[in-house]
Copies of this chain bind each other. A is one copy, B any other.
Amino acid sequence: QAESGAAAEAPESGQKYKCLLVTCEGGLRKITLNRPSKKNAITVEMYNEWVAALKEAAEDPGTVVTTITGAGDYYCSGNDLSNFMGIDPSNMQEYSKQSGELLNRFVSAFIEFPKPLVAVVNGPAIGVSVTVMGLFDAVYASDKATFNTPFSNLGQSPEGCSSYTFPKLMGPAKASELLLFNKKITAHQACELGLVTEVFPEASMQQEVWPKLQSFAKLPVKSLVYSKALTRDVEKDMLHKVNRMECDRLVERWTSEDCINAIMNFFSRKN
């Protein structure tokens, strides 16, 4: 049932990824985030697999258009906060530094991705899965999707180049509600703000979006790659600089009282 967005959680035999399902047909590559029981929260392993899957897509001559979608009800619930758990407090600084490097590598993979990259947002999207959308070429969303970047609620700060892409896209007056004030928005609101390309009714989304993407995958790949390069190359240095600044700030934030208290509260509410 890959077409319906409800992929099975069990990895297929021979599947090279544990947290992703990857298929490719007629030039259209589909990368499905596949931890539906955890709302597709991103573990350290999934960050690494996602980067590897983008590299594979970039290098495969048969891939024209690459899509990201989620298995189950969620698109992606963002960074798996359990990544923070079980860390020896004496190692917290070192762990935070490593996490910053991982995040930097993850976001760089989007900045550098050379072919059209499309998010098919089947449900709620949170945190870094929202912020990197500013680096996608198109975002098609279900009308049940929501978009939430609760950084300051968690004592954190923006990533995914959103501190640059969001104000550029929607202006500071709208971006601050998302980046500073934790506002959760609907798919239609995200579309008005320019973060989402088009919104589809939940019931017909899968039937409408995939044929459209299949037709895009038949366009001349060189024209697509060169056209994307023209739109992106003039700001690539800026994006890498912003990515570095954001990650350095988060390395500090993750070891701050603000963040530690917020995450402890999150887990105590949960239990």
Contacts and interface: CB of A to CB of B under 8 A. Distances in A.
Interface string A218-247: 011011101110110110001001100110
Q: How many copies does the complex hold?
A: 3
Interface in A36-75: none
B238 A242 contact: no
A194 interface: yes
Contact of A223 (B164, B226, B241, B253): B253
A194 B180 contact: no
Contacts of A174: 194, 197
Contact of A116 (B133, B135, B176, B256): B176
Contacts of A157: 223, 226-227, 230
B137 A231 contact: no
Give the size category of A's interface with B.
35 or more
A172 B238 contact: no
A242 B232 CA distance: 11
A136 interface: yes
Given A220-B258, A230-B158, A230-B246, A171 B152 contact: no
B173 A195 contact: yes
A116 B163 CA distance: 14
A227 B158 contact: yes
B175 A223 contact: no
Nearest to A228: B180
Interface string A163-200: 11011111111111101111000000000001111000
Given A168-B168, A231-B167, A249 B220 contact: no
Residue from A134, A173, A180, A249 having most chain B Cβ neighbours under 10 A: A173
Interface of A: 116, 133-139, 151-153, 155-158, 163-164, 166-177, 179-182, 194-197, 216, 219-220, 222-224, 226-228, 230-231, 233-234, 238, 241-242, 245-246, 249, 252-253, 256, 258, 262
12 contacts: A152-B220, A163-B231, A167-B231, A170-B194, A171-B194, A173-B196, A181-B216, A223-B253, A226-B253, A234-B241, A234-B242, A234-B245
